[in-house]
Structure 1
Amino acid sequence: MKAFLKICFVICLTMGFLNVAGAQEQNQDQQVPKSTFDKYEAFSPLFMTGQTNAFHSATGEPGPMYWQNQANYKIKATLDTINHKVEGKVTITYINNSPYNLDFLWLQLDQNTFRKDSRGSALYPSNDRNGVHTFTDGYHLKNVSISMDHRNEKADYVVSDTRMQIRLPEALKSKGESMDITIDYSFEIPEHGKDRMGRFDSKNGWIYTLAQWYPRMEVLDEVDGWNTLPYLGTGEFYLEYGDFDYEITAPENMIVVGSGELQNPKEVLTDQEMDQLEKARKSDQTVMIRSKAQMMEGTHHEGDRNGMLTWHFKINQSRDVAWAASKAFIWDAAKINLPNGKTALAQSVYPEENSGQDGYGRSTEYVKNSIELYSKEWLPYTYPVATNVAGHEGGMEYPGIVFCSYKSKTSSLWGVINHEFGHNWFPMIVGSNERKYAWMDEGFNTFINSVDTKEFNDGEYYNPSDLQQTGNQMFNEALDPVFTTPDVIHNQQNLGMEAYFKPSTALKVLRNTVLGKDRFDYAFKTYIKRWAFKHPAPWDFFNTMNSVSGEDLTWFWKGWFMNNWKLDQAIEGVDYVDGDPSKGALIKLLNKYKMPMPVTLKITDENNTTKTVKLPVEIWMTGPEYVYNYPSNSRIVSVEIDPNHEVPDLNPDNNTFTKLMEAPVGMDATKVIDNYIEAIGGRKVLEAVKDISITRKEMIQGNEIVFDIKKKKPGKMFLSVSLPQMNRTLAKYIVNGNEVYAENNGQKQEIPEKSKPGIMSQAAIFPELNYGQKGYELKLLGMNMDADGKTYVVQVNTPYGQSKKIYFSADSGLKIKEEVATDNGAAVNRFADYKNVDGVKIPYTEMTNNFGREVKMTVDEVTLNQNLEDSIFKI
């Protein structure tokens, strides 16, 4: 599920404003420890003990006594488009393969979450993505009966929120005995089904996306017994595997698509549609099955005397089924090429609103390529059809079918299709418990998405990330550990990090830095094969990776998954043996926080010789400090940790040791700042500016983000961050003298007292004018020479505890870069494209780092001295 991820990008970016503004406030008398690393904790042998048994082995394989139950479904349902209802009858054949005689069974009734009195409604507000926007009465159960030993009788059952317990008249025997459960039911279709199902009225008719649409068996396993966590919203699903045979009866003018393969095409399709489908099964190019013109004409196969058609689908070895129906669907398809000469069908159904080549006109191409790439890299696709439906959902996955936003275009459409179909491997094939461990499906899937996107169409939508720069987000103290139940995380921003980005980044680090591609890929593929169509627990993944790779990775699982440990590796300095570079260099390394990690060093000497050295994680078994004796022949010019930027680091600034050049005699920090002030207009001109308005724009995942910034003397500031495409204000900050207000997604945000002075300082129109005042400490560290040219490097410590390095061009005097130390590492901003506005030079381009990707913010408009109304800054 991916709809809210682009929002998380923006919220994390704007939250960085608070982090930077309120950074590093320290009591001057407080002694800050050099490191919090504890080698005994990191490398303790007491981890993952007591988690293995005859069902889940210490090697990570299913144990010799592993079992799982099976649920086969036969369903007949009718879509009532007048009342927006589904009426259905399901017969579940439940096979008890467990070693236990069962006196009762548990089923899921997920439609009950849309009731006013549901637990999910109590947990999530109505305007939340997982909240109930319009209530229904949930399931109406008309008949519940059971059949055991060929005896049919009414079931004795109890409904509790989204669960149903059936109490059996006699135990269902262990090791293979089966029984049938038959339920007649109906429910109203909610418009917004927690962004996972529902309906919306397109230009040419309603589009129905139906999921969680029939009573389903709960999972009984050897990890938690009966898995009866209610369906609340964030936690997704945990389901038994089985075979599905289902029929959907809908009005004859509608196209119906569903999980699995259509069994009766001659009864529901026109001759032309069948001919085109047959062409599509043999074509690598997209073939139109039902064009826009045919959709508008309403051509269809004639139904029964009531104008209804019944569509029959089957899918085997699946954990679920979903379907969609609409008269507004345009329909196209193409062949999927699978390993060993096998094929499947890729298809898309979508409304005309977004049917161009920048939208769903390429949907089937994206489906086809996603499936082919995943099949080649990890495990062949297991279903006969892969269907993408353009619906109101941001993105939601089911076996063989996904629902993606009908508004998505270009890179966003590729991203959501690629992500949702990646879920056919996690959790459709590898059937983990999504309701408890979102990271085992969302995180693993996000990882394979990045591998896929790099390959698709020569990297058409590939945007490489600088992982080293993601430490701010990855190791934020406000995060929960990855090993947290999704509904406990609750916060959507944190969920995006903890379920998606952090675990996927952990796998990248494990692949690129710890194990290497060969060992990682072999172990990861082994995990997929071992647990295909089974139910792995987290320990099965950990133990498989340990066993197959041949590494004890317990230190890794502790830091990345079980705890919210931070990583900050630093170079403290370079000395020489007996003071002689020819006798060897002593490179002093420090592991500042709890997480250990192997260290890659790039070392350059005065002879311009560069070598790369890889140090194992075991160097930290001696403690937080390590001295590497490098066999140098001449003086070291620079040392860099993680030169390829493959590992997130809380403060990348201390990853590099560079011998700065001395500044010219007579040059100091005050003169550098004065030169900058003169370069952008002069002190007199800047002091005459009473207010300023700046509108900045940036593109994130194909969406325009607008920053509206207004400042007025003395001490007033207004900042709003909006997403015009969604008509949504994502964040708002106001400073009015000593008052500070913050808002995220319409909700007031509490601001720590220690952050307020820093935030208030952001109201300064030109903060450099204040650098000569009491409490500021300025120091010229020297001169640097890099891609930005020759720059002066000035250290600035502010009265409110902020520390930053500012780089000024030695030629123009302009500010080129700013590195701000924060509680979560360092934030780096670059400035360029200075333009004159009423005598003041303003940088029209600012580059900042967000999730390891450099984001370009461009100024759209700047105005000075507008006499801004004080009401703008009212709190």
Structure 2
Amino acid sequence: MKKVILAAALLASTAGMAQRFEENRSKFEQLGTLLPTPNTYRTASGAPGHDYWQQRADYDMQIELNDEKQQITGTETITYFNNSPDELGYLWLQLEQNIFDKNSTANLTKTSAMEEKVSMYQLGFMTLEQFDGGYKIKYVKDKAGNALKYTVNGTMMRIDLPHALKSKGSFSFSIAWSYNIHDHNKLAGAPGNGRMGYEYFAKDNNYLYEIAQFFPRMAVYDDVYGWQHKQFLGNGEFTLPFGNYKASITVPADHILGATGVLQNPNEVLTATQISRLQKAKTAKTPVVIVTQEEAEANEKDKSTTKKTWKFAAQNVRDFAFATSRKFIWDAMQITQDGKPVMCMSYYPKEGNPLWGKYSTQAVAHTIRTYSKRTVSYPYPVAISVHGPVGGMEYPMICFNGGRPEADGTYSEQTKYGLISVIIHEVGHNFFPMIINSDERQWTWMDEGLNTFCQYLAEQEWQREYPSRRGEAYKIVPYMSMEQNKLEPIMTNSEQVSQLGNNAYAKPSTALNILRETILGRDLFDYAFKQYATRWAFKSPQPADFFRTMEDASGVDLDWFWRGWFYGTEPVDIALEDVKAFNADTQNPEKENPISKAQANEQKTISQIRNEKDIQKTLVDENPELKDFYNSYDRYAVTPQSKSRYEQYQASLSDEEKKLLASGENFYSLKLKNNGGLVMPVILKLDFEDGTNEIVRIPAEIWRMNNKEVSKVIHTSKKVVQFTLDPFQETADIDTDNNAFPSKAAPTRFQLFKQQNRRPANPMQEAQQIQGGQPSNR
């Protein structure tokens, strides 16, 4: 029977060990088959392979905007270059405007509910059926003018080729189309609305247009997915090939227009004064106003009945967008980035001042400088920020941004920093994904997450203690503290993410900041991150290319980090369960015996303490004859024998052993528990008895053999009075109550108040009222 019991115990022990091994392996095993197999297109180092290829599409467009009907009409000639090794029997194009068709997949599948109180966002979505949206395709023809067969499938269109397009061949065709521009504010809740549209200003009866996704665009064909023709449902943005663009855009003659690329006919569309001001902007240290507010206001009143055509050209870009209005104020300032001139510009209505005139172009220039330092040198000659109805959206060389002061010209702190941040973010998108051309339809985090991380770094260089919304580890804690069934991994398709802001922006940017500050250190991280940007500039990376490059260039195995942060949803919650203090016993009776005696006195129980008072006399006290040797024996007394034993012990020690005993080192055994599941480095602050402190950093690999619970011995020359985990809030630990030993309660202040109106959220406005300031004349 004993053998059976022993065998069962051994089996149970082995099973337990196997389970722990499996659990540990899942945290630290290599990503392996989770990543695609390296090949000659994409290497194991994360770099493009020697057979890497990508397609190209050139565009020649003639566009006209109807300011009376809010309509776009256009024709375009696309020349598509097949650089793949494959023959192509058909081509796929993207028709994103079709998302505004009332029968679009995005519209039909968007969930909604009717309540007693309905927000404007919900109403805008539910009234989409009243808007005549989507493309009206007039024709699709080949270079000779012959009609090409095409099939429209939602937001995608397939063109059947008369002959297979061979490898290294090209094919030219043209498309004529039109569509109605939507009122951005009226369709507030419609899928895809946040990326373009017009704003109507009733006060002066004028329109401001931010136009994008306005022409049929080539879909991507690559070595990973073949044709990337997933439907546009609103979240997953745009995946596009690079190419060269020419665009002629006809608008009312009094409009000011900004677009992707370089203006080709300034003498035809600008006044001599405006051209002179632009020339001055090339050497200016601060933005030069090209079109003043007074000139813009004059355009608002005296509307032109004639038209002008603005011509632009852009080289090696993946998209094209423009903005136009007679309301535009325009300022510019040229900077030199790595020896190349970059004209930084802003277009905005008077409703954007004074914020826009003060901050926009400066923020554009700041972004170009800071991002170029960390990624690749900005390659384009222009960078533009436009203010209109779109809260924040990016295109090559131009972006659309929100952020508007009050009607009296005052603004809150939130509005100010929100404006600067959104401009940095959207201009930053020139790098991710406009240059490092990731697949946004599949992986939102690859452009939004990386860009938000760089945005955070740029914000911190704007001013000290800039109130960044994302980036710091502690700011992701509320999201990571949520119930697991409400979270998705970062590695989730863009259209299946329920909390896109947290999942694709905040969490990956936070992860990268932790990787930079806590895992790799700034030097290793910055080198590897710049290597990734350099390798994949004007190419199309996948997640594995990023993961592999960061490891390859840093020389650090980070599979555990990608697995936990990008493939998992577990939070960080490391607890400091217990600390035991140890000191070396010198065996010197003159030193150790008094210590032992003091400890014994300190360890008296409550009964012993009370008995000293309540029991006046014991039996032995009343009967001294009951005493013997042990009643007078002092176990802590120093005797000649104990001294002799100590001298013999000392004689047996080496010089090194004597030195160690004499040092008086303190040894602390720490018990650490991983409650959250996500393994991370252990950062400890040791506060010493003398008022000094020390930081101890232990790599995450401490959990590799047991990711549930570990112990660690730390020795110090000084006595520690307080241990604190994650003292700088750098690991996103969701529960800091278990991070200290001895535990300490963090005081929280409470406020007494009477029910009354709250203080205005706009201190500038309040100060202006106190000082008798006059509201701005807008």
Instruction: Tell me whether the two structures share a fold, i.e. TM-score over 0.5.
Output: yes
Q: CA, structure 1 residues 278+526, in 2 after alignment: closer, same or farther (shift >3 Å)?
A: same
Structure 2 counterpart of 1:29: none
> Following the alignment from structure 1 to structure 2, what is the Cα–Cα distance between the partners of residues 360 and 559?
44
SS in 2 for 1:293: helix
> Following the alignment from structure 2 to structure 1, what is the Cα–Cα distance between the partners of residues 718 and 307?
85
> Following the alignment from structure 1 to structure 2, what is the Cα–Cα distance between the partners of residues 130 and 229?
22
| Cα displacement (A) at 1:622 | 2.0
Residue 324 (1) aligns with residue 323 (2):
yes
Tell me the alpha carbon deviations over residues 155-181 of structure 1, each in whole angstroms, 9 at most, x when there is no partner: 01111111110111110001x210102
Structure 1 counterpart of 2:740: 656
Contact kept? 1:55, 1:62, Cα under 8 Å: yes
Q: CA, structure 1 residues 188+125, in 2 after alignment: closer, same or farther (shift >3 Å)?
A: farther
Q: CA, structure 1 residues 146+206, in 2 after alignment: closer, same or farther (shift >3 Å)?
A: same
Structure 2 counterpart of 1:604: 687
Structure 2 counterpart of 1:284: 285
Residue 384 (1) aligns with residue 381 (2):
yes
Tell me the alpha carbon deviations over residues 482-538 of structure 1, each in whole angstroms, 9 at most, x when there is no partner: 11122211x3xx111001100000000000000000000000000001111111011
Structure 2 counterpart of 1:589: 672
Tell me the alpha carbon deviations over residues 83-133 of structure 1, each in whole angstroms, 9 at most, x when there is no partner: 111110110100000000100110001111110111111122584598874
Structure 2 counterpart of 1:24: none
Q: CA, structure 1 residues 396+465, in 2 after alignment: closer, same or farther (shift >3 Å)?
A: closer
> Following the alignment from structure 1 to structure 2, what is the Cα–Cα distance between the partners of residues 103 and 406?
47
Residue 144 (1) aligns with residue 140 (2):
yes
Contact kept? 1:132, 1:194, Cα under 8 Å: no
Structure 1 counterpart of 2:156: 163
> Following the alignment from structure 2 to structure 1, what is the Cα–Cα distance between the partners of residues 258 and 454?
27
Q: How does 1:400-799 map to 2 (within 5 A)?
A: 400-405=397-402, 407=404, 409-457=415-463, 467-468=473-474, 470-476=476-482, 477=484, 478-489=486-497, 491=498, 494-577=499-582, 582=665, 584-623=667-706, 624-633=708-717, 635-658=719-742
Q: How does 1:343-362 map to 2 (within 5 A)?
A: 343-356=341-354, 358-362=355-359
Contact kept? 1:121, 1:132, Cα under 8 Å: no
Aligned residue identity for 1:136: D
Contact kept? 1:55, 1:66, Cα under 8 Å: yes
Of Structure 1 and Structure 2, which has the larger fraction of its residues in helix?
Answer: 2
Of Structure 1 and Structure 2, which has the larger fraction of its residues in strand?
Answer: 1
SS in 2 for 1:584: strand
Q: How does 1:199-278 map to 2 (within 5 A)?
A: 199-202=198-201, 203-204=203-204, 205-278=206-279
SS in 1 for 2:569: coil
Q: CA, structure 1 residues 81+364, in 2 after alignment: closer, same or farther (shift >3 Å)?
A: same
Q: How does 1:6-17 map to 2 (within 5 A)?
A: none
Q: CA RMSD in A?
A: 2.8
Structure 2 counterpart of 1:73: 59
Q: CA, structure 1 residues 294+634, in 2 after alignment: closer, same or farther (shift >3 Å)?
A: closer
Q: CA, structure 1 residues 109+469, in 2 after alignment: closer, same or farther (shift >3 Å)?
A: closer
| Cα displacement (A) at 1:323 | 0.2
> Following the alignment from structure 2 to structure 1, what is the Cα–Cα distance between the partners of residues 47 and 302?
50
Q: CA, structure 1 residues 258+316, in 2 after alignment: closer, same or farther (shift >3 Å)?
A: same
- TM-score under structure 2 length normalisation: 0.77
| Cα displacement (A) at 1:336 | 2.2
| Cα displacement (A) at 1:543 | 0.5
User: Which structure is larger by alpha-carbon Rg, 1 or 2?
Assistant: 2
Residue 124 (1) aligns with residue 125 (2):
no
Q: CA, structure 1 residues 280+46, in 2 after alignment: closer, same or farther (shift >3 Å)?
A: closer
Pick from 40, 45, 48: which aligns with 2:30? Answer: 45
Structure 1 counterpart of 2:770: none
> Following the alignment from structure 2 to structure 1, what is the Cα–Cα distance between the partners of residues 306 and 563?
60
Contact kept? 1:263, 1:313, Cα under 8 Å: yes
> Following the alignment from structure 1 to structure 2, what is the Cα–Cα distance between the partners of residues 359 and 274?
22
Residue 831 (1) aligns with residue 750 (2):
yes
Contact kept? 2:472, 2:513, Cα under 8 Å: no
| Cα displacement (A) at 1:50 | 3.8
SS in 2 for 1:112: helix
Tell me the alpha carbon deviations over residues 703-732 of structure 1, each in whole angstroms, 9 at most, x when there is no partner: xxxxxxxxxxxxxxxxxxxxxxxxxxxxxx
Tell me the alpha carbon deviations over residues 709-767 of structure 1, each in whole angstroms, 9 at most, x when there is no partner: xxxxxxxxxxxxxxxxxxxxxxxxxxxxxxxxxxxxxxxxxxxxxxxxxxxxxxxxxxx
Q: CA, structure 1 residues 310+583, in 2 after alignment: closer, same or farther (shift >3 Å)?
A: closer
State how many pairs are aligned.
Answer: 633
| Cα displacement (A) at 1:583 | 5.0
Contact kept? 1:270, 1:301, Cα under 8 Å: no
Tell me the alpha carbon deviations over residues 223-280 of structure 1, each in whole angstroms, 9 at most, x when there is no partner: 1110001111111100000011111011101111101110100000011111111111
SS in 2 for 1:181: strand
Contact kept? 1:125, 1:131, Cα under 8 Å: no
SS in 2 for 1:562: coil
> Following the alignment from structure 1 to structure 2, what is the Cα–Cα distance between the partners of residues 290 and 118?
41
Structure 2 counterpart of 1:871: none
Contact kept? 1:333, 1:348, Cα under 8 Å: yes
| Cα displacement (A) at 1:352 | 1.0
> Following the alignment from structure 1 to structure 2, what is the Cα–Cα distance between the partners of residues 399 and 66?
24
Q: CA, structure 1 residues 37+454, in 2 after alignment: closer, same or farther (shift >3 Å)?
A: farther
> Following the alignment from structure 2 to structure 1, what is the Cα–Cα distance between the partners of residues 574 and 491?
24
Structure 1 counterpart of 2:411: none
Contact kept? 2:380, 2:397, Cα under 8 Å: yes
Structure 1 counterpart of 2:90: 104
> Following the alignment from structure 2 to structure 1, what is the Cα–Cα distance between the partners of residues 346 and 106?
32
Structure 2 counterpart of 1:180: 172
Aligned residue identity for 2:460: K
> Following the alignment from structure 1 to structure 2, what is the Cα–Cα distance between the partners of residues 529 and 241?
17
Tell me the alpha carbon deviations over residues 654-712 of structure 1, each in whole angstroms, 9 at most, x when there is no partner: 111126xxxxxxxxxxxxxxxxxxxxxxxxxxxxxxxxxxxxxxxxxxxxxxxxxxxxx
> Following the alignment from structure 2 to structure 1, what is the Cα–Cα distance between the partners of residues 471 and 373?
24
Q: CA, structure 1 residues 605+137, in 2 after alignment: closer, same or farther (shift >3 Å)?
A: closer
> Following the alignment from structure 1 to structure 2, what is the Cα–Cα distance between the partners of residues 53 and 257?
42
Q: CA, structure 1 residues 468+187, in 2 after alignment: closer, same or farther (shift >3 Å)?
A: closer
> Following the alignment from structure 1 to structure 2, what is the Cα–Cα distance between the partners of residues 457 and 598?
30
